[in-house]
Each structure stands twice: as structure tokens, then as C-alpha cells.
Amino acid sequence: MSDAKPHVGLIGLAVMGENLALNIARNGFPLVVYNRTTLRTEEYLAGPAANTSITGAATLPEFVAALEPPRQIILMVKAGVPVDAVLTELVPLLDPGDIVVDGGNSYFRDTERREAELARQGIRYVGMGVSGGELGALWGPSLMPGGPREAYDVLEPMLMAIAAKTRYGPCVTYIGPGGSGHYVKMIHNGIEYGDMQLIAETYDIMRTALGMSAPEIAEVFARWNGGKLASYLIEVTAEVLRFVDEETGRPIVDVILDAAEQKGTGRWTIESAMELSSPVPTIDAAVTARNLSGLRALRVEASEVLIGPTPPGGADEARAMLGGDSGADGAFAALESSLYFSKVSSYAQGMSLLAAASITYDWKLNLSEIARIWTGGCIIRADFLADIMRAYRDNPKLTNLLLDADIARQSDETVGGARRSIVAARSWGIPVPGTSSALDYFDTLRQISLPANLVQAQRDYFGAHTYLRTDRDGIFHTLWHGAEQPAEPVPVQELADV
Ligand code: 6PG
């Protein structure tokens, strides 16, 4: 072993940090780690990091002194205030040219602020989305680094080495400047929320309308994982539904409280979608569903007061409603199509939001590359991502994923399943907000004529908000009230001249 000091350091030994450090060392990059609580560092060095090239430091000055400039320091600390707290202590110890990488789920605007602050001191700041949970961090995550290009170039050999690998290459690419890396990770998480909600709704139809047990539903998901839905989250779902609670002997999902929590990335996705007027209704539905699930006391109370539909029969009727004459196979095929269709619609929404952000913030995002680095390592990894990668490679200016010829064909083949699933769910009174929103997005996009003409008329009626016409140019306002109302609407310019 050489006496040269390592360039790479990692701060924050929670489970993601611990595993990422092991991954880095395993791939031939010796590194120094630091954790606020020294005991944790000592336990780590004596435990998982024993017999590796990982060394530790007890204080931040020691940590910085143990690294060779230009340093490459990865922060794996909780997003928000803790990142600023570490930076306040760390930055005065650094030299110009050093690189700091934030590998947490930071809000992209925080990343932009920190990048600007550190740039004033000559320090290069990289906001990097890291996806894949504990196992991904250890064996190969999907990495979404954004910030100064030249800093990425320095980091690239290490990032390529530690990232997940698929047939499409290592799951890392330079995302773009500023906070784009964390923005892309935020959208990844929003899509993750959407996928999870759509899967949960499909499970609910099987549980409630088809009367199936958790292990029976697990087998359906396991089967689907061998088909067009093949993905990590479908695999996880099958495993979770099979899992038996040791204490009660019941499927564990049946004893888990139905109140879903969240840490914020889904909500940020929606806030950004609203700000950029690029709707993501399925992600919106997923976040709203989590929030509603959390209102458990209210739901318990409402369940005794509010009355739902009388289901038009039992499991046989539900199967027939879903699959027509094709029995159980037809019903499951409809649900599989429904889930696939909804997923396509949801990804189309997420990718459109990425495209809108890319234009607004001038990030020049490569959507094909982003889909490629999501083919492995991350939580939303799925066979379907290869189709998205191909669609944006064939046409980088694609205005909406649903307009790609192959994706359009796939949605055409599966949309019927979504329509049938929603009808069945409604008949049994099962809420399917994610699936419904996915279909509504599709049905809205298809319309040449929406009822927004009426909304515009209403706005003009009560607020003189003006409107455009279909038959001529100009901005118009109608004098809706009183005898002076002219026969023709008045162009706003003319009104102003009066
Ligand atoms: C990942 C995950 C992870 C994320 C949670 C979302 O890509 O590895 O997206 O980063 O934090 O899965 O957490 P909540 O559901 O708690 O918001």
C-alpha cells in the first residue's frame, strides 16, 4: 500500500453512508470517513469496514488533513439543516479546488444556494441524487450528479466504478449544472411515489373486489414480474405480500397500519409541477393518497357515517366486470394492463416535467440518458425504462412520451384494462385516485375540445379576466351585465381606448 493520502472522504455514517463507503473502497478507492459521533466511526472501522482500505478521523480537522487535495468529500447526512451545519464547519478547513458532493435527498434550490456560496471560495459543489436504498448504496446505486462539469469529470472514474451496471452501461451520467442532479432525483422519487400508489390500488382491487389473500396476490405480482411490468417495485411487492409476521402468523401487510408517511420529495415534485405548469396528476394523487391515509381517525369516523355503493356482487362478478368472459385470467390480464398503462401515463408526466424544468432552468437535460441511468440501481428500475430511453434517443425533442409511436401503441393496447379496472373499483367503492388520474391525463391529452371554454367565460363574467376566440385573433372581454352590452364582444384594446 502506498503512503499517499486518499483524495476521497465521506461524512455521515448512517446506513447509506456506511454502505456507500464500503462500495467505494471495494472498487479500489481508499477513503477516510468521519461521523459526528466518534463511537459510531470506531464501531464501523472495527466492524463492517475492518480489513478494507477505509480509515477514520475523529474530528473534522483531522479528516480534512488526512485527505490529499483536491479533496473529493461526499456528504451523506440528512437533507436540510444538517447539511448546512456540516458545511459551516467543513468549508473553512478546505482549499480552493476541493470538491464537496452532497449525496442526500436535498432540495434542489438548497443545492443551488450552497453551490453559489461555496463557489465564492473556489470550492466546487456537486448535488448528487443517490438511489437504491441500503443495498443499492452497497452494491451499485443509480447516481445523478449535477453541478460544475469539471468537478464531475474529476469524480467520474469513481462514480462509474461504484454505480450499478446494466446492459446499457454504468448507471451514472453528468446530469447538468446547478441543482439539476437533485432535481432529477426528486422527479425519480415522485415517479416512485406514483408507482407505489398504482401498485397499492391494484392490490386493493384484488383484496377487496376479488377477495384474495396477501399470499395469493403475491403470486400474481410475482408472475407479472416476469412480463412487461418487470421492475424492482413489483418484485418488492411480491416479497412483501408473501412475508409472514412471526408474532401473529399472519401476512405482515395485514398487521401494518394503513397510514403512509413521506419525507418530502413527492411534495416538492408537485410544487415544482405547479410552478412550471407541467402537471403530474398521478404523482399528485399519490402524495394526496398518502396524506389522506394519514387522517386515520377521521377515516374511522367517516366510515361509520358515509355510505358507499352496494357492490354488484361478489368475486365472480368482479372477475367478470374486469375480464368479461375470460374468467380469472381475463381479470388479471385487465389489472396487469391497467397497471402498465397507468405507469406509462405517470412516467410521461414525470418526463414532461423534467423537460419543462430543463427549458426553464436551461439545464439541457438529456432525457434518454436519464432514463438509461434509471435502468438499474434505483428504486424505479424497470424494463420499461429501456423503452423510454429509446424513445428520447430517437427523438430528443419528443413533446410527450405518449406521442412516441411505440409508447402510443403500448398505451392503446393497455388502456382498456385501465378503463375496466376503474369501473370495477368504482362499483365496489374502492378509491383508485392514481389509476384514475393516469387515465384522465391520457383522456385529457387526447381531446381537441375541452370544457375550458366555459371556464374562460366564467372567469370573464365575474372578473373581466378576458379570453381568446377560436374565430379571430385578439384578446376579448364581453360586457355580460346591463343594457349597454354590445352585440359583439369587445377586443380589450378597443375597450382600453374608450
Ligand atoms: C431511493 C429512495 C429514497 C427515498 C425514499 C422516499 O431512491 O433510494 O427514493 O431516496 O428517500 O424512498 O422516501 P419517503 O417515502 O419517506 O418520502
The pLDDT of residue 497 is 57
CA of 17 relative to ligand 1 center, distance in Å: 15
CA-closest residue to ligand 1 atom 1 = 131
Which residue minimizes the CA distance to atom 16 of ligand 1? Answer: 262
Residue 271 scores a pLDDT above 50? yes
**Residue 107 CA, ligand 1 centroid: distance in Å:** 13
Which are the catalytic amino acids?
185, 192
What tens digit of pLDDT does each residue of 166-188 get? 999 999 999 999 999 999 999 99
| Ligand 1 atom 4: residue of nearest CA | 189
Q: What is the pLDDT of residue 401?
A: 98
For residues 111 and 178, the answer to whether their CB atoms sit within 8 Å is yes
Please report the atom of ligand 1 found closest to the CA of residue 196.
Answer: 15
Q: What are phi and psi of 292, to 5 degrees?
A: -65, -40
The count of residues in the chain is 498
State which ligand 1 atom lies nearest to the alpha carbon of 189.
Answer: 9
Instruction: Show the domains of the chain with their CATH numbers.
Output: 8-178 (3.40.50.720), 190-445 (1.10.1040.10), 452-494 (1.20.5.320)
DSSP 310: P
User: Where is average pLDDT lowest: 77-81, 169-173, 475-479, 483-487?
Assistant: 483-487
pLDDT band with cut points at 50, 70 and 90 for residue 287: very high
Closest atom of ligand 1 to CA, residue 132: 8
- The predicted structure's pLDDT at residue 498: 46
Torsion of CA 211, 346, 277, 443, to 10 degrees: -70
Ligand 1 centroid from CA 170, angstroms: 21
Q: Whose CA is nearest to atom 14 of ligand 1?
A: 262
Tell me what pLDDT residue 445 has.
98
User: How do residues 240-249 score in pLDDT, each as one tens digit?
Assistant: 999 999 999 9
Our mutation pick for probing the ligand 1 site, out of 105, 142, 144, 262, counting the most ligand atoms within 8 A of Cβ, is 105
**Helix, strand, coil share (%) of the chain residues, nearest 5:** 60, 10, 35
Output the average pLDDT for the chain: 96
- 141/173 Cα distance (integer angstroms): 12
Q: Which residues line the pocket of ligand 1, CB cutoff 6 A?
A: 105, 131-133, 189, 192, 261-263, 265, 378-379
Residues in contact with 103: Cβ distance below 8 Å, sequence separation at least 6, in sequence order: 16, 17, 20, 74, 75, 76, 128, 130
Report the pLDDT value the prediction gives residue 487, as an integer from 0 to 100.
57
**In this model, does residue 494 exceed pLDDT 80?**
no
Going from the Cα of 292 to the center of ligand 1, the distance in angstroms, rounded, reads 19
Q: How far does the centroid of ligand 1 lie from the alpha carbon of residue 189, in Å?
A: 6
pLDDT surpasses 80 at 496: no
Strand 142-146 relative to strand 124-131: parallel, antiparallel, unpaired? antiparallel
Q: For 429-451, what is the mean pLDDT?
A: 98
CA distances from 367 to 170, 241, 389, 392, 494 (A): 16, 34, 7, 6, 46
Whose CA is closest to 159, among 264, 45, 8? 8
The closest-lying atom of ligand 1 relative to the alpha carbon of residue 263 is: 17
Q: What is the chain's Cα-based Rg? A: 26
Can you tell me the distance from the alpha carbon of 323 to that of 315, in angstroms, rounded to the nearest whole number? 12
Nearest residue (CA) to ligand 1, atom 5: 189
Closest-CA residue, ligand 1 atom 15, reads 262
CA angle 455, 456, 459 (to 5 degrees): 85
Report the nearest-CA residue for atom 9 of ligand 1: 189
Instruction: Tell me what pLDDT residue 114 has.
Output: 98
| Nearest atom within ligand 1 for CA of residue 379 | 7
Tell me: pLDDT of 264 over 70.
Answer: yes
pLDDT, residue 1, reads 46
pLDDT digits (tens, 9 = 90+) for 307-354: 999 999 999 999 999 998 888 899 999 999 999 999 999 999 999 999
The rounded distance, in Å, linking the Cα atoms of 335 and 420 is 8
For 285-296, what is the mean pLDDT?
98
Instruction: Give the ligand 1 atom nearest the CA of 260.
Output: 15
**Cα of 129 from ligand 1 centre, angstroms:** 11
Report pLDDT digits (tens) over 185-230. 999 999 999 999 999 999 999 999 999 999 999 999 999 999 999 9
Decide if pLDDT at 285 tops 60: yes
CB 28 within 8 A of CB 37: no
What distance in angstroms lies between residue 293's CA and the mean position of ligand 1's atoms?
18
Contact 176, 364 (CB under 8 A): yes
